[in-house]
Amino acid sequence: MTDVSKLGKLNPTFNLEKKGEVSKEKLREVADMYEKHFLKEMMKQMKSTVSEGSGMFKKNNAEKIFQEQLDDEHAGQWNKQGSFGLSNLIYDQLMDRYGSQFGLKENLEKPSGPIELDQKKHDIKNLNSTDEFSLKIESKEPAGASIENQAVKNPWAGTLQSKELINDDHTLYKIKHDNGLESLITIQGGASEKSRFLSSGDYLQAGDEIGLARKTSPLFWTVRSNLNEG
């Protein structure tokens, strides 16, 4: 079996130390290099299980050097064909781990709202469109099974743009976040004791309570970019 543990001893960012010099292309080069290294190690381990022969048929140094060059060429060709897939896996992992550090990926913090989710208690449906991300979050309890309310919180820091009452018992919150995103949160419910004085223009921290929602009623949360707004 191929011993890939040696790869863990290598520093995947040894040539990415200077932030200004790092690009997605360089990250791809590093991923390709490690895939090629893995392929060479794999071939080396496979050949080590096969006897080279004995006596006069033993390989001399020149033959061994030639064989290593040939293995290197084969590994390079396999790497260029992209059929192995390890390079893409390494690239994705490097981007996830170091992308934000080198300015190649936006470091978006996890949202602090709108509600605390429990996959055992909620059904979460993705309502994506082409230019925004939308979720319908619904309790698995039957409608009307509980009259309890739950706190609704602001996902990321930003400014409350509007708070609008819809159909007498629903409230739509529009929040412009500091990270370039905008949230539209629709709940069945309204203001809580903590949020009853909230008004347009108020600044909210991540996790601040903005209202109370009926636990068994759907909550709709849409996130879209606000960078293109005038």
Mean pLDDT of 109-137: 67
Question: Is 108 a member of any domain?
Answer: no
83 and 163 inside one domain: no
Average pLDDT, the chain: 74
81 and 131 inside one domain: no
Q: Which residue in 75, 5, 26 sits closest to 47, CA to CA?
A: 75
Q: Where are the alpha helices (DSSP H) in the chain?
A: 24-48, 61-81, 86-98
- Structural domains counted in the chain: 2
CB atoms under 10 Å from CB of 137, counted, come to: 17
Q: Which residue in 218, 222, 224 sits closest to 142, CA to CA?
A: 218
Q: What is the pTM of this model?
A: 0.49
130 and 72 inside one domain: no
Question: Is 117 a member of any domain?
Answer: no
Question: Is 221 a member of any domain?
Answer: yes
66 and 30 inside one domain: yes
- Output the pLDDT for position 124: 57
d(Cα 50, Cα 52) in Å, to the nearest integer? 6
77 and 164 inside one domain: no
Q: What domain range includes position 169?
A: 122-225
Confidence label for 108 from pLDDT (cuts 50, 70 and 90): low
